[in-house]
Structure 1
Amino acid sequence: MRSFFLPVLSLTLSLAASAIADPTLSPWKLHERRSHIPAGWTRTQKLDSSASVPLRFALAQSNIENIEALLYDVSHPDSPNYGNHWSASQIAAKFAPSTESIDTVRSWLIESGVEPHRMKLSPTKGWLEVASTVEEAENLLLAEYHVYDHETGTKHIACESYHLPEHVTPHVDFVTPTIHFDAKVQKRTDKSYGRVPIGQPGQGSTPKTTGQIDGLLTQIEDCDKQITPICLRALYGLWYQPVAGDKNSYGIVEYSPQAYVQSDLDLFAKNFSTGLEGVSPTLVSIDGGSVPTSASSFDYNGESNLDLEYGMTLVTKGQNVTLYQVGDSVEGASFNTFLDALDGTYCTFEGGDDPNQDPVYPDTASGGYSGQEDCGTVTPANVISTSYGYNEADLSAAYAIRQCNEYGKLGLMGVTFLFSSGDWGVAGNGGYCLNADGTQSPDGTIFNPAFPATCPYVTAVGATQVSSGKNVWEPEDACEQVIYSGGGFSNYFSTPDYQKAAVEGYLQANPISYSKDIYNSTGSRAYPDLSANGANYAVAIDGSFSLVYGTSAASPVVGAILTMVNDARISHGKPPLGFINPTIYSAGFAGAFKDITNGTNPGCGTLGFNTTKGWDPVTGLGTPYFPSLLAKWLTL
């Protein structure tokens, strides 16, 4: 059952001459195979052979195999190039698909009978599109296309597997439409598994709430009952006033229709944030993202209100916070929608993503965003916090790997990406776990890791709590109130070098007794990287305060702490932190985190993993302590 953990398969086939235009193009290799139909989808009928299908070939990026080494060169504290981040033009030049890749794929298509006028290369040279019929696509890829129906009424075109000639395979990341069902990103759901637009009421949400608070508890002695900004400042030593706010930047990402309510931000500021009443984050609209004034409920506003109330308060009025509001309220957005806006080289054909995977703009629906898709139009902030995510198994490995490499490229540019690790322990969103055939269900028994948290080029943030009866001066525990800190081992990504010693140390000191059939024991990226409090937050929502829980609370808190470290570095003439993982795992930073040694992250019918001294797959390295981090980072 290990097979569904493998990103790319390589089965060599002999092909009959009648299947392709030129039999000399053999042998062929299996490029991707899907082991199951995703939840909610049913294969219904064979696709008509004369129907049109726009094939898109994602061309392999040059030097992408070296991205880890290149990223370490500017991110490892022992490197002489630490902090020498790249420009966007350097990134584009280094990773653009080679002329050889373009020519190889184009030549194969021409030899197979595709006329040149039916091929188009994207402006970024990352994608080659072919106007094709189903019959031709099936012959080109040795595939069989069917129509798939979703329980919501959505239809999709896909195949079970596809092949490429052996000499073409190294030049193509993946082809669409093929095995992928990677649609719009959704919020982590607590009620159901399935692809629903993010932020829609009735679909569950992260964070979670236990309801309204009868009365605010604002004393530091009450932090085991309610978390407020003073609790977080005491827990993590964040007593700092920014001095370089005009040169620094902190970004928080929200996906429409989830949006903040200004009156709630003002209510929170009135109680906790001197000078922030009436202050809004700087809105950067991506593909029609807006902040509507009509909706007001936890489902619509809980996430954004939480992120901004605590993010803005912890960095104080001296540091502006940028809100990236992504997607219109009709079509929604995917992570690729946001990444396209940050990096024009990531955009697909003619500035748009594949319509079978990502939203297409202009949105022709009533009330939709009618402008052109944002492509390379947004300057990324130094630190970007995101509290949304998939289950890793929702995506094909090729799709996840390509997106992960993009986070690596942005890390080269000096951007720190933070993602919440999920709220279901070792289970996936909604408590879904994997079955032996790769499907997901509530009664599955195989651990179901999160993405992008498992991408080795982002920093995954888990959750802790101040347990009942304890105070902020005592060690926190892993979060086991309402939510469980997401953590475990990737099924797609291998263990990065910066993490090997920490993970090996954990496994040696804490032998895992579970069967190797329920988690990936083959040496993979482990998460989270660090943690922060995620329980009992007092959040202003819909005109009153509610108790809120989630790793989505922890991520913006860590983002605020790192933003203040950047402020100090910038004020001393130093560059921003960029990708932090090689540094925080290094020996020199061992004392910069408060170790968490109590608690587990249950899921999939197990207690999950256990916390322990040092790194663990529940709380990572522990919680950040700002004075220690500041002192250590100022020496780099």
Structure 2
Amino acid sequence: MAILTRTTLAVVTLATSCLGSLPFVKHESRLSAPPNWEQSHRAPAETELPLRIGLAQPNIDRIGDLLLDISHPQSKNYGNHWSAAQVSETFRPSVEALDGVRKWLVDEGIAHSRIRLSNSGGWLEASVSVAEAEQLLKTEYYVYNHTLEDVQHVRCALGYHIPEHLAEHIDFITPTIHFNSAASQVRSNLKRRRTAAAMLVRQAGLPRSADVDNIENIASGIEHCDTHITPDCLRALYNFSFAPQATEKNSFGIVEYTPQAYVASDLDMFFDKFSKPQVGERPTFVSIDGGFLQTNMTGEDYNGESALDLQYAMALVGEGQPVTLYQVDDGDQSANGTSFNDFLDALDGTYCAVHRNDSSDNDGHDCGTVTPTWIISTSYYFSEQQLTDAYKTRQCAEYAKLGLMGVTVLYSTGDNGVASGGNMCLFQNGTESSSPEAKRFSPTFPSTCPFITGVGATQIVAGNKVSDPESAIYEGIFTAGGFSNFFAVPDYQKTAVQNFLTNHPPQYSPDIWNSTGHSRAYPDIALNGANYVIAVNGKFDRVFGTSASAPALGAMLYAINDARLAVGKKPIGFINPAIYSPAFQDAFNDITNGTNPGCGTEGFSAVEGWDPVSGVGTPNYPKLLQKWLELP
């Protein structure tokens, strides 16, 4: 399964202090810094950098086919998941790559004692000065300031070079041109979503206090599901009923990034109304890189996401079921580029960092210290455009490795329709902006990675019942969906994409969206994401977002895993090849109403069959359960 088409690297010849005349190539570059980052001044030459060189991994070009072989329901190897050792052995960089890159560093004056191979074997690491990094990479480093937050990065300007003969052995190097945009964008998205929810309540003539006053009636039935979603509403919408049988074998993980944190009293307030036996229950807390439940900053911006994810994940799986909270520290924004890597560090060590660009040498990243749960839901996302090609490729492959081991990885697609976070769209040269002059659709990541399941959002139309067809969400947010500008369409999705483009071709100029029919499309699946009642900071409120849809879907897939595990079968693992297969087509509620506006357009339309608004549709739980139980 193809991931990308590599561009030809321009060769330049640069003089080096120790190697004489050696051909170099520009390995990565970008047109400009991401939005909200401004170049300030040259970085001091003596500043220490945690230089990390990602070594190319053998067999990585086959990873899509290997994953499809154990994930497609018609494959004889369906469900034959790999061990972690098998994954490590298959993709461990070659001795040639390791020796070649190490020799380059040593020849440039970096002593052997300063070079370390990461636990995974995927990275060579060395603490170097800015002056040494500039000499190694033929670039210049600057200090960049974030315009909205008190954050600085030391990054090189626009691009860097490596010896031509090593280009095939190096994926990318950090810190160079990669910026940690995830944390700031997540918080701005969260703030915007909460603001949109508050505006909706006021426009509908329902002040926030009305939610609190009516909570007893809302908690007692499903008559108000068009305006207030509760766990019972979701059960009724998708015919979801769950009686656990294999609790000790099952697992479900929710990922959060500090300073986002849940409040224990809010959990109990929610459970008291919607799942009384769970009062006092807490998720299993796993700290990654020092992640903790901070209490200094409170309010919906800091507690709302965790409240939403955990309250619904835990209530839907029910009393006594293990829900793990992966709490990741988002404080160090200097070394790895984006926080998703910190989480991946802990699962398999591939992105392990040893040297941190701070004074606390021993609080380095957790490396392969956490066993992944069978289901992992993440309600965070960022722009595909903000990451370099090599970076996206490498991180996407890490999700494929999890799929090989039987893990289902869910990501919310985003809340800005065909735009990315902050309503960003693209100019024709690829730069991202919120300006109305930027017209090109901007996909979100990791939703465009073909090895994860992207989850979009639907809602009950105002005045309708839970038994009526849903619409694509149109209140508060618009579900993200569209076509990647980078990743190729995976084999499992080709028929669905071609059917959509043939039968319902969008009437937009091809210069504002990827109309080729050869790119990865998203979302894969959808679930209600509007009017969720949550308890946050001691009161009940309503919230909106694909961030609601992902953990709710995760709970249902957890229940399917339970049923399979109870009869001695394997977890469902990577679900995309199954849900796109003909055998599963009648296991979804087709969404044929609504659009996902953005970038000055109405976006795409929900139509019969798969579409880039609602994916294959919303789950019909009993049918999905039956179909997965019929598989080996």
TM-score (normalizing by structure 1)? 0.89
1:179 counterpart residue number: 177
Report how many aligned residue pairs link the two structures. Answer: 608
Which of 156, 159, 182 pairs up with 1:158? 156
CA distance in 2, matches of 1:135, 1:279: 53
1:439-493 deviations in whole A, cap 9, x for unaligned? Answer: 3222221111111111111100000000012111111000001110111111221
2:366 counterpart residue number: 374
CA contact (8 A) 1:62 1:96 kept: yes
1:116-165 deviations in whole A, cap 9, x for unaligned? Answer: 44433223322223455555544443333333333346242313122233
CA contact (8 A) 2:114 2:126 kept: yes
CA distance in 1, matches of 2:558, 2:288: 23
Query: Does the C-alpha gap of structure 1 residues 290 and 23 become closer, same or farther in structure 2, counting only changes over 3 Å?
Result: closer
1:336 counterpart residue number: 341
Report the Cα offset of residue 293 of structure 1: 5.4
CA distance in 2, matches of 1:283, 1:150: 31
2:205 counterpart residue number: none
Query: Does the C-alpha gap of structure 1 residues 363 and 252 become closer, same or farther in structure 2, counting only changes over 3 Å?
Result: farther
Question: Which segment drifts farther, 51-60 or 571-580?
Answer: 51-60
1:528-565 deviations in whole A, cap 9, x for unaligned? Answer: 00000011111112222111111111011100110000
Query: Does the C-alpha gap of structure 1 residues 314 and 128 become closer, same or farther in structure 2, counting only changes over 3 Å?
Result: same
CA distance in 2, matches of 1:324, 1:98: 32
1:37-78 deviations in whole A, cap 9, x for unaligned? Answer: 222223344456676555322111121111111111211111
Query: Does the C-alpha gap of structure 1 residues 220 and 149 become closer, same or farther in structure 2, counting only changes over 3 Å?
Result: closer
CA contact (8 A) 2:226 2:464 kept: yes
Which of 369, 375, 386 pairs up with 2:378? 386
Report the Cα offset of residue 308 of structure 1: 1.4
1:434 counterpart residue number: 426
CA distance in 1, matches of 2:496, 2:390: 27
Percent identity between matched residues is 51
CA distance in 2, matches of 1:303, 1:261: 11
Query: Is 1:452–2:446 an aligned residue pair?
Result: yes
CA distance in 2, matches of 1:341, 1:184: 18
Which of 493, 500, 507 pairs up with 1:506? 500
2:604 counterpart residue number: 609
Query: Is 1:215–2:233 an aligned residue pair?
Result: no
CA contact (8 A) 1:252 1:321 kept: yes
Report the Cα offset of residue 611 of structure 1: 0.7
2:145 counterpart residue number: 149
Query: Does the C-alpha gap of structure 1 residues 203 and 503 become closer, same or farther in structure 2, counting only changes over 3 Å?
Result: closer
- Could you tell me which amino acid in structure 1 is paired with residue 379 of structure 2? S
CA contact (8 A) 2:182 2:381 kept: no
Report the Cα offset of residue 274 of structure 1: 3.9
Query: Does the C-alpha gap of structure 1 residues 310 and 130 become closer, same or farther in structure 2, counting only changes over 3 Å?
Result: closer
Query: Is 1:71–2:67 an aligned residue pair?
Result: yes
Report the Cα offset of residue 426 of structure 1: 0.6
Report the Cα offset of residue 253 of structure 1: 1.2
CA distance in 1, matches of 2:375, 2:524: 16
1:196 counterpart residue number: none
CA contact (8 A) 1:529 1:619 kept: yes
SS at match of 1:317: coil
Which of 470, 473, 479 pairs up with 1:479? 473
Report the Cα offset of residue 527 of structure 1: 0.6
Query: Is 1:559–2:554 an aligned residue pair?
Result: yes
CA distance in 2, matches of 1:185, 1:410: 23
CA contact (8 A) 2:143 2:152 kept: no
CA distance in 1, matches of 2:464, 2:419: 28
Query: Is 1:265–2:263 an aligned residue pair?
Result: no
2:538 counterpart residue number: 543
2:168 counterpart residue number: 170
2:54 counterpart residue number: 58
Which of 269, 292, 307 pairs up with 1:290? 292
Report the Cα offset of residue 95 of structure 1: 1.1
Query: Does the C-alpha gap of structure 1 residues 510 and 120 become closer, same or farther in structure 2, counting only changes over 3 Å?
Result: same
CA distance in 2, matches of 1:101, 1:70: 23
- Higher helix share goes to which structure? 2
How do 1:221-260 and structure 2 match up within 5 A? 221-260=223-262
TM-score (normalizing by structure 2)? 0.90
CA distance in 2, matches of 1:336, 1:417: 14
1:493 counterpart residue number: 487
Question: Which segment drifts farther, 40-49 or 408-417?
Answer: 40-49
- Could you tell me which amino acid in structure 2 is paired with residue 43 of structure 1? Q
Report the Cα offset of residue 307 of structure 1: 1.1
2:204 counterpart residue number: none
Query: Does the C-alpha gap of structure 1 residues 329 and 279 become closer, same or farther in structure 2, counting only changes over 3 Å?
Result: farther
1:304-363 deviations in whole A, cap 9, x for unaligned? Answer: 111111111111114221111222778798111111111134313x3x5x75xxxx7x85
Query: Is 1:587–2:589 an aligned residue pair?
Result: no
CA distance in 2, matches of 1:277, 1:440: 45
- Could you tell me which amino acid in structure 2 is paired with residue 15 of structure 1? T
CA distance in 1, matches of 2:430, 2:73: 39
CA contact (8 A) 1:190 1:431 kept: no
1:94-115 deviations in whole A, cap 9, x for unaligned? Answer: 1111111112222344455655
CA distance in 2, matches of 1:285, 1:182: 20
1:347 counterpart residue number: 352
Report the Cα offset of residue 20 of structure 1: 6.1
1:194 counterpart residue number: none
Which of 609, 615, 623 pairs up with 1:628? 623
CA contact (8 A) 2:417 2:603 kept: yes
Query: Does the C-alpha gap of structure 1 residues 206 and 171 become closer, same or farther in structure 2, counting only changes over 3 Å?
Result: farther
The runs of 5 or more residues in structure 2 that have no matched partner are 202-207
The runs of 5 or more residues in structure 1 that have no matched partner are 192-198, 365-369
Question: Which segment drifts farther, 514-523 or 376-385?
Answer: 514-523
Report the Cα offset of residue 510 of structure 1: 1.3
Question: Which segment drifts farther, 79-88 or 284-293?
Answer: 284-293
Query: Is 1:322–2:324 an aligned residue pair?
Result: yes
SS at match of 2:501: helix
CA distance in 1, matches of 2:363, 2:108: 37
1:9-40 deviations in whole A, cap 9, x for unaligned? Answer: 42332415x356445643x3332110112222
Which of 298, 301, 305 pairs up with 1:299? 301
1:579-603 deviations in whole A, cap 9, x for unaligned? Answer: 1111111111101110000000000
Question: Which segment drifts farther, 144-153 or 282-291?
Answer: 144-153
CA distance in 1, matches of 2:18, 2:296: 58
- Could you tell me which amino acid in structure 2 is paired with residue 224 of structure 1? D
CA distance in 1, matches of 2:192, 2:529: 21
Query: Does the C-alpha gap of structure 1 residues 7 and 568 become closer, same or farther in structure 2, counting only changes over 3 Å?
Result: same
CA distance in 1, matches of 2:477, 2:16: 53
CA RMSD of aligned residues (A): 2.6
SS at match of 2:58: coil
SS at match of 1:508: helix
CA distance in 1, matches of 2:143, 2:333: 22
CA distance in 1, matches of 2:377, 2:107: 47
